[in-house]
Amino acid sequence: MFLPLLTQLPDNGWTYILSTILVSLQVSFTAVGLSTLFSLPVAVLVGFTDFPGKRIVTAVINTGMGFPSVVVGLAVLLVISNSGPLGTLDLVFTPQAMIASQFILATPVIMSISLSAVESVEQSVRDAAFAMGGTDVDVGIVVIREARYGIITAILAGFGRAISEVGSILIVGGNIVFSDGQSYTRTLTTAITVEARQGHYEIGFVLGVILLVLVFGVNGLGSWVRSKGRGERSA
Partner 1 sequence: MTLTAKGVSIGYGDERVLEDVTIGVETGEILTLVGPSGTGKTTLLRLLSMFQRPDSGTVAWKDTDVWELSAEERLGVRRQSSMVFQEPSLFNAPVYENVMYGQRVRKSWRERIRERVVGFIDDESMSDSVQTALETVGMIDKDGQNALSLSGGEAQRVAFGRALAVNPEIMLLDEPSSNLDPRNTAVLEDAMFRAKERGVGVIVATHDMNQARRISDRVGFIYDGELVETGPPAQIFDDPTDRRTKRFVEGELLYDMDDSQTPSTPALE
**Cβ distance to partner 1 smaller for residue 25 or 125:** 125
Reported as half-sphere exposure (CB side, CA atoms, 13 A), residue 115 has a value of 23
Number of residues that bind partner 1 (CB under 8 A): 21
Q: Supply the minimum distance, in Å, between the C-beta of residue 24 and partner 1.
A: 30
Residues 48-107 that bind partner 1 (CB under 8 A): none
Question: Does residue 227 bind partner 1 (CB under 8 A)?
Answer: no
> Which one, 37 or 235, has the nearer CB to partner 1?
235
Residue among 128 and 221 whose Cβ is closer to partner 1: 128
Distance in Å, CB of 129 to partner 1, minimum: 7
Interface characters, 107-146, with partner 1 (x: CB under 8 A) = ---------------x-xx-xxxxxxxxx--x---x--xx
DSSP the chain: --HHHHHT--TTHHHHHHHHHHHHHHHHHHHHHHHHHHHHHHHHHHHH---TTHHHHHHHHHHHTT--HHHHHHHHHHHHSTTSTTGGG--TTSHHHHHHHHHHHHHHHHHHHHHHHHHTS-HHHHHHHHHTT--HHHHHHHHHHHTHHHHHHHHHHHHHHHHT--HHHHHHHTT-B-TTS-BSS--HHHHHHHHHHTT-HHHHHHHHHHHHHHHHHHHHHHHHHHHHHHHHHH-
Amino acid at 197: R
Q: Which is nearer to partner 1, 100 or 142 (CB)?
A: 142
Choose the stretch contacting partner 1; rule: CB under 8 A; options: 11-19, 77-85, 156-164, 225-233.
Answer: 225-233
Q: Which 143-182 positions form the footprint of partner 1 (CB under 8 A)? A: 145-146
Nearer to partner 1, 41 or 217 (CB): 41
Closest approach of partner 1 to the CB of residue 32, in Å: 23
Write down the least CB distance from residue 146 to partner 1, Å.
Answer: 6
> Nearest approach, Cβ of 158 to partner 1 (angstroms)?
23
Q: How far apart are CA 109 and CA 7, in angstroms?
A: 39
CB 208 within 8 A of CB 214: no
Our CB check for partner 1 shows the closer of 79 and 125 to be 125
Nearer to partner 1 by C-beta: 41 or 85?
41
Q: Which residues bind partner 1 (CB under 8 A)?
A: 122, 124-125, 127-135, 138, 142, 145-146, 229, 232-235
